[in-house]
Amino acid sequence: MFSNRITAAQQLAPLLKKYKEQPGGLVLAVPRGGVPIAYVIAKNLHLPLSLVLTKKIGHPANEEYAIGAVSLTDRYLVSHKEVSPAYIDEATTRIRKRLREMYHMYLGDRQPEPINGKTVIVVDDGIATGNTLLATVKMLRKENPAKIIVAAPVASQNAYAMLSKVVDELIILHIPTLFRGVGAFYDDFAQVTNEEVIYYLAKERT
């Protein structure tokens, strides 16, 4: 479907044109893969770009299965009786330490962008299960944005159905009947490096 993240972003951006120069508009990239796409969208819409830093809490028996997510200031959990509070607390502390390191690496001394009353566009390069993004949206809601829009080039049908219930608008270019992972829909799905994230954030500011 897509040559790479930049060409995907160029196809996705026109679907968001009604938010161009939106007063109080803000584009939040999901690092690292969402950053090149969010950069193109922010540039097209003439909106500021920042990051939404959240990481999933994996189930102790299967780290890939998300049972919640953690941000720098909050967490969202789906109750699992077999998971102890001690495990949740340890995971929260460990993940939050990593998020602080990421924030400092990517944004340095910049203050977090307040989202109260803003129209927030959350951008990723694709949505597989949607569980971590669901938790991210739940946490963002607590900060009272005016609207939350989620945009991505591709999403699974299950993720689309779930997220469409919790966001104000969900903008997806391609919702395949057979979803084989996000990378299957890109010719070039090379991992986005930390250096690239820093580059795009600095380029957007200048």
For residue 78, pLDDT over 90 is answered with: no
User: What does the buried/exposed string (b/e) look like for 118-149 if buried means 16 or more CB atoms within 10 Å of the residue's CB?
Assistant: bbbbbbbbbbbbbbbbbbbbbbbeebebebbb
The first and second tokens of residue 16, run together, are 């968001």
Q: What is the pLDDT of residue 64?
A: 82
CB 139 within 8 A of CB 55: no
- Comparison of pLDDT for 65 and 175, the residue scoring more: 175
- Checking DSSP bridges between strand 25-29 and strand 119-123, what pairing results, if any? parallel
For residue 95, pLDDT over 90 is answered with: yes
Residue type, 120: V
Per-residue pLDDT, averaged over 56-71, amounts to 90
For residue 1, pLDDT over 90 is answered with: no
Side-by-side strand order, sheet with 54-59:
54-59, 62-71, 75-77
Q: What is the pLDDT of residue 174?
A: 97
Per-residue pLDDT, averaged over 65-90, amounts to 92
Task: Give tens-digit pLDDT for 8-21.
Answer: 999 999 999 999 99
Residue type, 5: R
Would you place residue 127 in the very low, low, confident or very high pLDDT band (cuts 50, 70, 90)? very high
- Comparison of pLDDT for 63 and 148, the residue scoring more: 148
Query: What size, in residues, is the chain?
Result: 206
Residue type, 172: I
